[in-house]
Amino acid sequence: MPKALFAMGCFWGSEAAFRQVPGVTATTVGYAGGHTANPTYQDVCTGRTGHAEVVEVEYDAARVSYRDLLHVFWENHDPTTLNRQGPDVGTQYRSAIYPLDLEQRVEAEASKRKEEASGRHRRPLVTEIAAPGPFWRAEEYHQQYLEKRGQAACHVPTR
């Protein structure tokens, strides 16, 4: 099964958004885009590891496309706020797409251009498209955090 990697603020809400998509077969929250090996949540929260909170999405490409997942990404956070989503502030909450191959990179860049041209945003997009480096799985208590607590989302995106 193919995978995709997205950073869109709090990974609890990101994971919850993707788990609702038909064709998504698994999600894992973790850290990517940084320079420290095997970071912990406490390490990432310092802002010194360079990591973003991310959700790794495994999906059935016969049921949902990477393009569809990009749509979920754009719809479920504010891509115009630098290092912030709702009440969460810090570089670990940045907006980023981490393509896992050349095809995903091409799709991600086209998707960002389309989103920029859509006129839906009053401010410029700050979403980065970058190589993720290693993906580090977050601690077990973070996995499916909102589902375990009966919550639907961390916060409502604002535009």
Nearest to 57 by CA among 8, 102, 129, 116: 8
The reported pLDDT for the residue numbered 12 is: 82
The reported pLDDT for the residue numbered 158 is: 41
Question: CA 109, CA 35: separation in Å to the nearest integer?
Answer: 24
- Does the global pTM surpass 0.85? yes
Question: CA 152, CA 112: separation in Å to the nearest integer?
Answer: 27
What tens-digit pLDDT sequence spans the chain (159 residues)? 999 999 999 888 899 999 999 999 999 999 999 999 999 999 999 999 999 999 999 999 999 999 999 999 999 999 999 999 988 899 999 999 999 999 999 999 999 999 999 999 999 999 999 999 999 998 766 687 566 666 655 554 443
The reported pLDDT for the residue numbered 142 is: 67
Nearest to 9 by CA among 81, 62, 67: 81
The reported pLDDT for the residue numbered 131 is: 95
Tell me the catalytic residues: 10
The reported pLDDT for the residue numbered 159 is: 39
What is the CATH topology of the domain spanning 3-149? Peptide Methionine Sulfoxide Reductase; Chain A (3.30.1060)
3-state secondary structure (DSSP) of residue 146: helix
Q: In what order do the strands lie in the sheet with 128-129?
A: 128-129, 95-97, 3-8, 52-59, 24-32, 136-137
Token pair of 88 as six digits: 């969460």
65 backbone dihedrals φ, ψ, rounded to 5°: -95, 165
The reported pLDDT for the residue numbered 87 is: 87
Domain ranges for the chain: 3-149
The reported pLDDT for the residue numbered 99 is: 98
**Taken in order 23, 57, 74, 8, is the CA torsion positive or negative?**
positive
Question: CA 51, CA 32: separation in Å to the nearest integer?
Answer: 5
The reported pLDDT for the residue numbered 157 is: 45
The reported pLDDT for the residue numbered 26 is: 97
